[in-house]
Structure 1
Amino acid sequence: MNKTLDILALTIGIVGALNWGLIGFFNFNLVQFIFGAGGLARIIYALVGICAVYLLTFYGKTGKVSYEQ
């Protein structure tokens, strides 16, 4: 796969996870704080969701480990 896309998806996924952590621990939504409660925040949430679906493909990559020496 494309390494740049992998890194971008992982970064967006981490940002989304950190945002959920902030919501859970402190009831603070960083995305809404930065982008407001409008359409731009919804786009960010959609990007996080798309990246999560893409990151599911990483499970397939972890199964392709070679033990040759």
Structure 2
Amino acid sequence: MDRLALILMIVGALNWGLIGFFGFDLVASIFGGQTALLSRIIYGIVGLAGLYSISLLVREREQV
């Protein structure tokens, strides 16, 4: 689950980087615009991954 959340966070970060530097929203262009249902689902999933990833900050690291 941690790895999936990290992958989704990377996708979100890359998308925000594209928006910030080039004004290009990759998710919206692939899935039919920012208000399209599928785009909103993707944005929501990435947001949930971000919320889940907060737990990575406070979780005890395993000793190997």
Q: State the TM-score bracket (shorter-chain normalisation).
A: 0.7 to 0.9
Distance 2:62 2:44 in 1: 35
**2:8 pairs with 1:6:** no
Secondary structure at the aligned position of 1:56 is classed as: helix
Runs of at least 4 residues off by over 6 Å: none
**2:9 pairs with 1:28:** no
**2:25 pairs with 1:54:** no
Unaligned runs of 5+ in 2: none
Secondary structure at the aligned position of 1:28 is classed as: coil
Percent identity between the aligned chains? 51
- What's the TM-score once normalised by structure 1's chain length? 0.81
Distance 2:32 2:42 in 1: 11
Distance 1:66 1:8 in 2: 19
- What's the TM-score once normalised by structure 2's chain length? 0.87
Q: How far has the Cα of 1:42 moved from its partner?
A: 0.1
Q: How far has the Cα of 1:66 moved from its partner?
A: 7.3
Q: How far has the Cα of 1:33 moved from its partner?
A: 1.0
